[in-house]
Structure 1
Amino acid sequence: MTQAPLQLFDRRALEAHRSRRQQEALFLHYMARVEAEDRLSLVNRSFTAPAVVCPFPEVWERFGPEAKIVADEEVLDLEDGAHDVVIHAMCLHWANDPVGQLIQCRRALKEDGLLLVMLLGGRTLHELRSAMAEAETILLGGLSPRIAPMGEIRDLGGLLQRAGFALPVADLVPLKAEYRDVPHLIHDLRGMGETNALAQRLKRPAPRGLFQLADHIYRKHFANAEGRLPATFELVCLTGWSPSDNQQKPLRPGSAQMRLADALKVPESKL
């Protein structure tokens, strides 16, 4: 009997967390929409058949009447070759199979269609991770899985190539928010459905005093001059194109017609 692969995330818990969302806490999702709109406005092309994969459709309902809003599920409700742009918005960091998600998006694109992915990157909540790790080590003598791992930008960019996209580009937008204390930060994370949904998370309540100690450590190492707690959020943006014969191709090594020194009009260095 073939054993099912281990799942990093508990999708049932994730959906339960998202169902308790609060609109005022979805600021990262609205910022992602603005960022997507800005980036699409810079592309010298008109898109007429967009699709948006997202956990919160109300954030994207004004994106355009022609846009198809697709629920963030393991199998995406996307038709092959139906769209000229697909936006995968703020949910790839919760995917058990991120490459599979991107492959589904590529198949849904027409030839030379654009994929735009917005997700949280590796340094997101690094202050909270550090404070919680130190607090758990002091109280429990070890660590438990509490905050989901998030990919570094160099690794996330490689996902596009693995999924078969051409001309992949990865960049990030660093964001900062400030909070009164750790409970205030966790309240916001609950409101945006971003609390712990790891499959291997502890299923029992946190030890008494854990969050108070984490708040003390967070404040000791990261508090600003006003006594507020800064929280880092990395918004990673990935772009790639479905393959087409009309796209620019890199030149073959050794095919240049002019030496670099001649092009720059400088003497050639001989080492």
Structure 2
Amino acid sequence: MPAPSHHAPPRLFDRDLHRKRLDRAASGYAGADFLQRRAAYDIAERLAPIMRTFSLAVDLSARGGAFAQALVEETPGKVETLIEADLSGRMLAGRGGLRVVADEERLPFAPGSLDLIVSTLGLHWTNDVVGALIQARLVLKPDGLFIAAFLGGVTLTELRQSLVAAESEILGGAGSRVSPFADLQDAAGLLSRAGFVQTVSDVDKVTVTYDHPLKLLLDLRQMGETGVLADRHPKKLTRQLLNRMAEIYFERFGTPDGRVPASFEIITLTGWAPQASPQA
């Protein structure tokens, strides 16, 4: 169901490559799912005080199933039936329950069929975020709830700066290797533009430390979160570039205990589908 639009959105990301990266990451995903788990449990906690049971819910970008587990542990009985959806079939493999391979840009659900949609760290890879949100609103029942967590502005700022500096020094210029992320101010209006009401946006800033920047790159690969820009850098990262990037990373951001920080920003948006208009 395409989002209503007069113009095709720019193609920022290669969605086919993103799916392949997720497929590749699936077998080892549990070893680097700390951000996904954090976002999933946060969403489950947000559901707890809502005085309602949701009959049918969909977890977009379900990945390793952290949200399903969070529901059991944090809010048992809050959701009667959960459908786990993911762009990657391999991410969903081997688990019980209802599962569907689905693209956030082309939701396969009937209009007005769902009570709750959650999205855990997937929307930052969509080419048309507002279009994806409009689709989510249309498949929700009136007064249905949507909660999405995605990576925002300052995410990987240290890595981004270190890569740019290394490439400028070695290659004489820097290209795009780390994907752009929306900041909180830009994200705040997305739900309203998509027709949601009673919208709320907030941010959770997370800092993770590593003993070496290359360990961060390994984690990103294991998460399936490596860059998939459609207009990506034509040259692959060389050992020389990676080594210089790591040196700059330590020089600029290293901590007294010899580690390096990696910043992540998780923006969470909450909104409700409008209630049905009363009949005249």
TM-score by length of 1: 0.85
Q: Deviation per CA, 1:99-145, whole angstroms, max 9, x where unpaired?
A: 11101110111111111001001010111111111111111111111
1:170 aligns with 2:194: no
Give the Cα–Cα distance (whole angstroms) in 2 for the partners of residues 36 and 93 of structure 1: 17
Is 1:242 matched up with 2:273? yes
**What SS class does the counterpart of residue 49 from structure 1 fall into?**
strand
How many residues align? The count is 244
Counterpart code for 1:49: L
Q: Structure 2: state its 5+ residue gaps.
A: 1-6, 72-78, 88-102
| 1:83 positional shift | 1.4
| Residue 218 (structure 1) aligns with | 249
- Offset at 1:71? 2.6
Greater mean deviation of Cα atoms: 124-133 or 59-68: 59-68
Q: Measure how far apart 1:80 and its partner are.
A: 1.2
Given that 1:70 and 1:78 are in contact with CA atoms closer than 8 Å, whether structure 2 keeps it comes out as no
Q: CA deviation at 1:208?
A: 4.1
RMSD in angstroms over aligned alpha carbons? 1.8
Aligned to 2:137: 106
Cα deviation code 1:5-54 (max 9, x no counterpart)? 54100111111111122211111111111011111112232222211111
Equivalent in the alignment of 1:152: 183
TM-score (norm 2): 0.82
Matching residue of 1:201:
232
AA matched with 1:71: D
184-193 or 85-94: which moved more?
85-94
Give % identity: 36
Aligned-partner residue type, residue 15 of structure 1:
R
Retained in 2: the 8 A contact 1:70–1:76?
Answer: no
Residue 16 (1) aligns with residue 20 (2): yes
Residues 1:5 and 1:87: Cα distance change in structure 2 (over 3 Å): closer
1:140 counterpart letter in structure 2: L
1:6–1:78: structure 2 CA closer, same or farther, 3 Å change rule? same
Deviations 1:190-240 (A, max 9, x none): 000000110111244224411111111111111111111110111110001
Q: Which residue of 1 aligns with 2:86?
A: 71
Aligned to 2:57: 50
SS of residue matched to 1:236:
strand
Could you tell me which amino acid in structure 2 is paired with residue 8 of structure 1?
L
Instruction: Decide which structure has the larger Cα Rg and report it.
Output: 1
Structure 2 CA distance for aligned equivalents of residues 39 and 9 of structure 1: 30
